[in-house]
Amino acid sequence: MKRCEWARATPLEQQYHDKEWGVPIHDDRLLFELLILEGAQAGLSWSTILKKRDGYRRAFDNFDVEKIAQYSGKKVASLLSNPQIIRNRLKVKAAITNARAFLNIQTAFGSFDTYLWKFVGGIPVQNTWKNKTRVPTRTSRSDAISKDLKNRGFKFVGSTICYAFMQAVGMVNDHTVDCFRYEEIKKMSMSARRLSDLKNIGKKIEKRLNEIGIFNENDLSTLGPVKAYQQIKENYPNETLPLCYYLYSFDGALQDKHWN
Protein backbone atom coordinates (compact mmCIF):
# COMPACT_ATOMS: atom_id res chain seq x y z
CA MET A 1 0.00 0.00 0.00
CA LYS A 2 1.66 3.20 -1.17
CA ARG A 3 1.33 6.50 0.69
CA CYS A 4 2.38 10.07 0.14
CA GLU A 5 6.07 10.30 0.90
CA TRP A 6 5.67 12.75 3.80
CA ALA A 7 3.46 10.28 5.70
CA ARG A 8 5.98 7.44 5.90
CA ALA A 9 8.21 8.79 8.66
CA THR A 10 6.23 7.95 11.82
CA PRO A 11 3.16 5.89 12.76
CA LEU A 12 1.43 9.08 13.94
CA GLU A 13 1.88 10.79 10.58
CA GLN A 14 0.78 7.62 8.80
CA GLN A 15 -2.42 7.42 10.83
CA TYR A 16 -3.21 11.08 10.26
CA HIS A 17 -2.57 10.70 6.54
CA ASP A 18 -4.66 7.54 6.23
CA LYS A 19 -7.66 8.78 8.21
CA GLU A 20 -7.82 12.58 8.09
CA TRP A 21 -5.58 14.45 5.68
CA GLY A 22 -7.51 15.70 2.68
CA VAL A 23 -10.96 14.63 3.84
CA PRO A 24 -13.38 17.53 3.18
CA ILE A 25 -14.29 19.11 6.52
CA HIS A 26 -17.35 21.27 7.13
CA ASP A 27 -17.50 21.23 10.93
CA ASP A 28 -16.61 24.64 12.37
CA ARG A 29 -15.02 23.27 15.54
CA LEU A 30 -12.66 21.02 13.61
CA LEU A 31 -11.92 23.77 11.08
CA PHE A 32 -10.93 26.05 13.94
CA GLU A 33 -8.78 23.34 15.52
CA LEU A 34 -6.83 22.75 12.33
CA LEU A 35 -6.46 26.46 11.63
CA ILE A 36 -4.87 26.95 15.05
CA LEU A 37 -2.68 23.87 14.74
CA GLU A 38 -1.44 24.88 11.29
CA GLY A 39 -0.52 28.28 12.72
CA ALA A 40 1.25 26.62 15.65
CA GLN A 41 3.30 24.59 13.18
CA ALA A 42 5.01 27.68 11.75
CA GLY A 43 8.75 26.99 11.85
CA LEU A 44 8.21 23.45 13.13
CA SER A 45 7.36 20.02 11.72
CA TRP A 46 3.83 18.68 11.45
CA SER A 47 5.02 15.62 13.36
CA THR A 48 5.77 17.86 16.34
CA ILE A 49 2.23 19.28 16.25
CA LEU A 50 0.61 15.84 15.93
CA LYS A 51 2.47 14.68 19.03
CA LYS A 52 1.05 17.64 20.94
CA ARG A 53 -2.44 17.56 19.45
CA ASP A 54 -4.11 15.88 22.43
CA GLY A 55 -2.31 18.31 24.71
CA TYR A 56 -3.66 21.21 22.67
CA ARG A 57 -7.18 19.86 22.94
CA ARG A 58 -6.90 19.63 26.72
CA ALA A 59 -5.22 23.02 27.09
CA PHE A 60 -7.59 24.85 24.70
CA ASP A 61 -10.93 23.46 25.92
CA ASN A 62 -11.19 21.10 22.94
CA PHE A 63 -10.99 24.17 20.70
CA ASP A 64 -14.25 25.64 21.94
CA VAL A 65 -14.02 28.94 20.06
CA GLU A 66 -16.36 30.84 22.39
CA LYS A 67 -14.36 29.85 25.47
CA ILE A 68 -11.03 30.64 23.85
CA ALA A 69 -12.28 34.08 22.78
CA GLN A 70 -12.77 34.86 26.50
CA TYR A 71 -9.33 33.76 27.70
CA SER A 72 -7.79 36.11 30.23
CA GLY A 73 -4.20 37.09 30.90
CA LYS A 74 -4.13 34.53 33.69
CA LYS A 75 -5.13 31.81 31.23
CA VAL A 76 -2.41 32.94 28.82
CA ALA A 77 0.17 32.64 31.61
CA SER A 78 -1.10 29.15 32.35
CA LEU A 79 -0.82 28.14 28.70
CA LEU A 80 2.72 29.47 28.47
CA SER A 81 3.74 27.19 31.33
CA ASN A 82 2.09 24.13 29.78
CA PRO A 83 4.66 21.75 28.22
CA GLN A 84 1.93 19.92 26.30
CA ILE A 85 1.67 22.76 23.75
CA ILE A 86 4.04 25.02 21.83
CA ARG A 87 4.88 27.65 24.44
CA ASN A 88 5.24 30.58 22.11
CA ARG A 89 3.60 33.75 23.38
CA LEU A 90 2.77 35.09 19.91
CA LYS A 91 1.16 31.81 18.85
CA VAL A 92 -0.84 31.49 22.07
CA LYS A 93 -2.13 35.04 21.84
CA ALA A 94 -2.86 34.53 18.14
CA ALA A 95 -5.15 31.62 19.02
CA ILE A 96 -7.23 33.95 21.19
CA THR A 97 -7.22 36.73 18.59
CA ASN A 98 -8.22 34.23 15.92
CA ALA A 99 -11.04 32.84 18.07
CA ARG A 100 -12.57 36.31 18.27
CA ALA A 101 -12.15 36.88 14.54
CA PHE A 102 -13.59 33.41 13.88
CA LEU A 103 -16.73 34.32 15.85
CA ASN A 104 -17.09 37.48 13.79
CA ILE A 105 -17.02 35.43 10.60
CA GLN A 106 -19.62 33.04 11.99
CA THR A 107 -21.86 36.02 12.72
CA ALA A 108 -21.36 37.51 9.28
CA PHE A 109 -21.66 34.33 7.20
CA GLY A 110 -23.62 31.95 9.40
CA SER A 111 -20.64 29.62 9.74
CA PHE A 112 -16.91 29.62 9.12
CA ASP A 113 -17.51 26.70 6.78
CA THR A 114 -19.72 28.82 4.52
CA TYR A 115 -17.12 31.58 4.46
CA LEU A 116 -14.11 29.32 3.85
CA TRP A 117 -15.42 27.01 1.16
CA LYS A 118 -16.54 29.87 -1.07
CA PHE A 119 -12.87 30.29 -1.99
CA VAL A 120 -13.09 27.03 -3.96
CA GLY A 121 -16.72 27.36 -4.96
CA GLY A 122 -17.74 24.75 -2.39
CA ILE A 123 -15.96 22.00 -4.35
CA PRO A 124 -12.54 20.47 -3.53
CA VAL A 125 -9.82 21.13 -6.10
CA GLN A 126 -8.59 17.89 -7.68
CA ASN A 127 -4.87 17.93 -8.38
CA THR A 128 -2.83 15.23 -10.12
CA TRP A 129 0.65 15.42 -8.65
CA LYS A 130 2.98 12.55 -9.56
CA ASN A 131 5.42 13.25 -6.74
CA LYS A 132 5.82 15.58 -3.78
CA THR A 133 8.22 17.89 -5.61
CA ARG A 134 5.31 19.03 -7.78
CA VAL A 135 3.05 19.94 -4.85
CA PRO A 136 2.99 23.72 -4.30
CA THR A 137 3.37 25.42 -0.94
CA ARG A 138 0.99 28.23 -1.88
CA THR A 139 -1.43 29.13 -4.66
CA SER A 140 -3.50 32.10 -5.75
CA ARG A 141 -6.37 30.71 -3.68
CA SER A 142 -4.29 30.45 -0.53
CA ASP A 143 -3.04 33.98 -1.24
CA ALA A 144 -6.64 35.18 -1.37
CA ILE A 145 -7.62 33.36 1.83
CA SER A 146 -4.57 34.67 3.64
CA LYS A 147 -5.22 38.24 2.56
CA ASP A 148 -8.86 38.12 3.58
CA LEU A 149 -8.18 36.48 6.95
CA LYS A 150 -5.51 39.07 7.74
CA ASN A 151 -7.92 41.86 6.83
CA ARG A 152 -10.36 40.31 9.32
CA GLY A 153 -7.76 40.37 12.09
CA PHE A 154 -6.37 36.83 12.01
CA LYS A 155 -2.75 36.11 12.91
CA PHE A 156 -0.38 33.37 11.72
CA VAL A 157 -2.33 32.95 8.49
CA GLY A 158 0.30 33.51 5.82
CA SER A 159 -0.31 31.99 2.42
CA THR A 160 1.87 28.92 3.11
CA ILE A 161 0.00 28.23 6.34
CA CYS A 162 -3.31 28.71 4.56
CA TYR A 163 -2.35 26.27 1.83
CA ALA A 164 -1.37 23.64 4.38
CA PHE A 165 -4.74 24.29 6.02
CA MET A 166 -6.52 23.85 2.67
CA GLN A 167 -4.76 20.52 2.19
CA ALA A 168 -5.67 19.38 5.69
CA VAL A 169 -9.38 20.20 5.45
CA GLY A 170 -9.85 18.79 1.96
CA MET A 171 -10.23 21.98 -0.03
CA VAL A 172 -7.55 20.54 -2.32
CA ASN A 173 -6.70 16.90 -2.97
CA ASP A 174 -2.92 16.90 -2.82
CA HIS A 175 -2.37 13.20 -2.32
CA THR A 176 -0.01 12.10 -5.07
CA VAL A 177 -1.73 10.00 -7.71
CA ASP A 178 0.13 6.84 -6.67
CA CYS A 179 -1.10 7.16 -3.07
CA PHE A 180 -3.89 4.76 -2.10
CA ARG A 181 -5.85 7.68 -0.61
CA TYR A 182 -5.89 9.68 -3.84
CA GLU A 183 -8.86 7.89 -5.40
CA GLU A 184 -10.68 7.60 -2.08
CA ILE A 185 -10.46 11.35 -1.51
CA LYS A 186 -11.38 11.99 -5.14
CA LYS A 187 -14.59 10.00 -4.67
CA MET A 188 -15.42 12.01 -1.55
CA SER A 189 -14.88 15.18 -3.55
CA MET A 190 -17.15 13.96 -6.35
CA SER A 191 -19.85 13.29 -3.76
CA ALA A 192 -19.34 16.78 -2.39
CA ARG A 193 -19.74 18.23 -5.90
CA ARG A 194 -22.97 16.29 -6.43
CA LEU A 195 -24.37 17.35 -3.07
CA SER A 196 -23.43 20.95 -3.78
CA ASP A 197 -25.27 20.78 -7.12
CA LEU A 198 -28.32 19.30 -5.42
CA LYS A 199 -28.29 21.98 -2.75
CA ASN A 200 -28.20 24.63 -5.45
CA ILE A 201 -31.24 23.01 -7.05
CA GLY A 202 -32.85 22.93 -3.63
CA LYS A 203 -32.37 26.65 -3.14
CA LYS A 204 -33.99 27.42 -6.48
CA ILE A 205 -37.13 25.44 -5.65
CA GLU A 206 -37.31 26.33 -1.96
CA LYS A 207 -39.60 29.18 -2.96
CA ARG A 208 -41.86 26.67 -4.70
CA LEU A 209 -42.07 24.61 -1.51
CA ASN A 210 -43.35 27.64 0.34
CA GLU A 211 -45.79 28.52 -2.42
CA ILE A 212 -47.31 25.05 -2.34
CA GLY A 213 -47.33 25.12 1.44
CA ILE A 214 -46.64 21.40 1.82
CA PHE A 215 -43.89 21.42 4.39
CA ASN A 216 -41.66 23.77 6.25
CA GLU A 217 -38.19 22.82 7.45
CA ASN A 218 -39.47 21.67 10.85
CA ASP A 219 -41.91 19.34 9.16
CA LEU A 220 -39.09 17.88 7.08
CA SER A 221 -36.98 17.31 10.18
CA THR A 222 -39.85 15.48 11.86
CA LEU A 223 -40.98 13.37 8.91
CA GLY A 224 -37.64 12.63 7.38
CA PRO A 225 -36.98 13.04 3.64
CA VAL A 226 -38.31 9.63 2.57
CA LYS A 227 -41.74 9.96 4.23
CA ALA A 228 -42.00 13.56 3.11
CA TYR A 229 -41.26 12.51 -0.45
CA GLN A 230 -43.88 9.76 -0.29
CA GLN A 231 -46.52 12.25 0.78
CA ILE A 232 -45.56 14.64 -2.01
CA LYS A 233 -45.71 11.84 -4.56
CA GLU A 234 -49.21 10.85 -3.43
CA ASN A 235 -50.72 14.33 -3.18
CA TYR A 236 -48.70 16.47 -5.60
CA PRO A 237 -47.48 14.17 -8.41
CA ASN A 238 -46.59 17.08 -10.68
CA GLU A 239 -44.16 18.40 -8.07
CA THR A 240 -42.33 15.12 -7.46
CA LEU A 241 -39.16 15.65 -9.48
CA PRO A 242 -38.02 19.06 -8.20
CA LEU A 243 -39.09 18.36 -4.64
CA CYS A 244 -37.31 15.03 -4.53
CA TYR A 245 -34.13 16.86 -5.48
CA TYR A 246 -34.74 19.30 -2.68
CA LEU A 247 -35.33 16.54 -0.17
CA TYR A 248 -32.26 14.68 -1.37
CA SER A 249 -30.16 17.78 -0.75
CA PHE A 250 -31.82 18.08 2.66
CA ASP A 251 -30.23 14.74 3.59
CA GLY A 252 -27.31 13.94 1.30
CA ALA A 253 -26.71 10.60 3.01
CA LEU A 254 -29.75 9.10 1.24
CA GLN A 255 -29.22 6.98 -1.83
CA ASP A 256 -30.81 7.47 -5.24
CA LYS A 257 -33.04 4.43 -4.76
CA HIS A 258 -35.25 6.39 -2.40
CA TRP A 259 -36.29 8.65 -5.26
CA ASN A 260 -37.11 6.07 -7.91
Residues that are catalytic:
16, 38, 46
Task: Find out whether 7 and 17 touch, Cβ atoms under 8 Å.
Answer: yes
Rounded Cα distance, 68 and 51, in Å: 21
Q: Which residues of 220-229 are buried (b: 16+ CB within 10 A; e: fewer)?
A: beeeebeebb
